[in-house]
Amino acid sequence: MVGPLRKQCVLNAEKGRRACRGFTAIEAILTIMIVGIMGGILGPFISQGIDSWMFSVEQSASNDTHRSALISFVVDVESATSISSTGANTLQLNIPGGTVTYSLTSTGGATFDLERDDGVVQGPVARKVISSGLRFRYFDKAHSETSTPADVYVIMMTFVTVNEGQNVASGTSALINVGRNAVLSRL
C-alpha cells in the first residue's frame, strides 16, 4: 500500500512534473546562514555562562580546601601541649607523640603548597598559596604581638591562594591555652 504523500508523488511524476523533491541548494544555504548568525549572536552569552559556572565550581573547591586546612590547623592547635618555634611563615607545635610543622614548600612556580608535617605524614593542606600569602601572627594574653613561644596565647594563621588569577583570602584565629581547647573563628 502506498501512503497519500507517496501516491501524490507518483501521480505527479506520471504527469511529467517533479513534485517530490528535497530542499534546494539556496534553501539549504539560507538555513545554514541563519543558524550561523544565531550562533554568532548567542555564542558569547552561552560561553560566558559556561565560564561563570566553571569559575564557581573551582571557587567552591578552593573554599573546601581552605575549610579543610583550617580545620586541620585547629585540631593540631587543640591537641598542642606547647609551641616549639614561631616564625612568620612557619609554626611548629608540640603535640602528644611528636611535633607538627606548618610551612610553605615550593612547587617550582609562582605558588607554593602549605605543608603539614607531623613526622609520619607529610603533605599539602592547601595548594597554590602565593609566597607572601602565608602568615602566622602570635599574640599574648594582653593581645600584643609576641614572638616568644612560651607567651603565645592566640595564633592567627592567614593564607592566600590563587584561583583563576584571582586571590582568595582565608584566615583563622585559634586560641591556644596550653592543655585546653582551641577556639576557631574564621575571619
The per-residue pLDDT for 5 is: 47
Helix-strand-coil split of the chain, %, nearest 5: 35, 35, 30
Q: Does the pTM of the predicted model rise above 0.85? A: no
Rounded Cα gap, residues 156 and 138, in angstroms: 6
The per-residue pLDDT for 12 is: 54
Q: Alpha helices, DSSP H only, in the chain?
A: 4-14, 25-79
The per-residue pLDDT for 19 is: 54
How confident is the chain (187 residues) per 10-residue block, as mean pLDDT? 50 54 83 94 90 82 77 80 78 86 78 82 77 76 83 77 66 53 45
The per-residue pLDDT for 32 is: 95
Closest CA to 156 of 177, 183, 135, 180: 135
Task: Please name the residues in contact with 68: beta carbons below 8 A apart, sequence gap of 6 or more.
Answer: 125
Rounded Cα gap, residues 29 and 35, in angstroms: 10
Cell of 131: 609566597
